[in-house]
A and B are shown apart, each in its own frame.
Chain A
Amino acid sequence: DAGVTQSPTHLIKTRGQHVTLRCSPISGHKSVSWYQQVLGQGPQFIFQYYEKEERGRGNFPDRFSARQFPNYSSELNVNALLLGDSALYLCASSEAGTGITGANVLTFGAGSRLTVL
């Protein structure tokens, strides 16, 4: 079975541009989460979607938005890019929106590395 797939793997943008990152979850997984990982730090939560509805949002500006499609794939959009948006963007999927004892185990994709010049 295919794991979580993300595209593109690498991309370079300039300040002020817009970027769209895509994620396909593991088959049967209905929850997708997005994380931003700046070099040298741990991942930071951006969004969670479950059954096409937003279930959580991290402390990110409105320039960041996301959506989930009927096939459970997801897009992360970032507008008006800043240099500080340069990071590895990770998508993770899980079967359910939450676990019985808190967050489920997440399966991560390999990430999309965004460089903003």
Chain B
Amino acid sequence: SQQGEEDPQALSIQEGENATMNCSYKTSINNLQWYRQNSGRGLVHLILIRSNEREKHSGRLRVTLDTSKKSSSLLITASRAADTASYFCATAFTGGGNKLTFGTGTQLKVEL
């Protein structure tokens, strides 16, 4: 079963706008990761945030983590058509090895 939910399920914006995706999870985590998937192919790692971190940046990406609310958000600024993809959050647990538990994903469409 999925660890959590992502919201919204689908998001459509214009190029240049910002896109925000939210992820909620159910249990304590060690780290949370965001991945991107184009057209049902392999996933590409975007960013990892540790449980003791609250915010992290990477280029046009900004991730926040609120462990008290068991939630995270991914912000993509100045979106481009090439950002069109599905975005997944994935959580890692103590003693879980490399096991990641993925959310349900947000489908982002960036229109020209």
Q: Interface on A for B, CB 8 Å cutoff?
A: 4, 31, 33, 35, 37, 39, 41-45, 48, 50, 55-56, 58-59, 88, 90, 92, 94, 97-99, 101-111, 113
Across-interface contacts of A44 in B (CB, < 8 A): 2, 102
Q: How many A-B residue pairs have CB under 8 A?
A: 98
Are B33 and A41 within 8 A (Cβ)? no
Q: Which of A42, A59, A101, A105 contacts B45 (CB 8 A)?
A: A105
Q: How far is the CB of A29 from chain B (nearest CB, A)?
A: 11
Give the chain B neighbours of A31 by CB distance below 8 A.
Answer: 97-98
Inter-chain contact A98/B45, CB cutoff 8 Å: no
Judge whether B88 and A42 touch: CB under 8 Å: yes
Given contacts A103-B98, A105-B48, are A110 and B103 in contact (CB under 8 A)? no
Chain B: CB-nearest residue to A109:
B42
Tell me the complex Cα distance, A50–B97, Å.
9
Give every chain A residue within 8 A of B92 (Cβ-Cβ). Answer: 99, 102-103
Whether A106 and B41, one on each chain, are in contact in the complex, defined by CB atoms closer than 8 angstroms, is no
Residues in B with CB closer than 8 Å to A55 are 97-98
Cα separation A113 to B41 with both chains bound (whole Å): 9
Given contacts A33-B99, A42-B103, contact A110 B94 (CB under 8 A): no
In the bound assembly, the distance between CA atoms of A43 and B88 in angstroms comes to 9
Is the Cβ of A98 less than 8 Å from the Cβ of B103? no
- A101–B51 CB distance below 8 A: yes
Contact of B96 with A by CB under 8 A: yes
Pairwise interchain contact B43-A43, C-beta atoms closer than 8 A: yes
- Pairwise interchain contact A48-B98, C-beta atoms closer than 8 A: yes
Task: Find the residue from A4, A59, A106 having the highest chain B CB count within 10 A.
Answer: A106
Q: Can you list 14 A-B pairs with a CB-CB distance of less than 8 A?
A: A33-B100, A42-B88, A42-B104, A43-B88, A45-B99, A48-B98, A94-B98, A97-B98, A102-B92, A102-B93, A103-B30, A103-B98, A106-B45, A106-B100
With a cutoff of 8 Å between Cβ atoms, the chain A residues found around residue B40 in the complex are 37, 39, 88, 111, 113
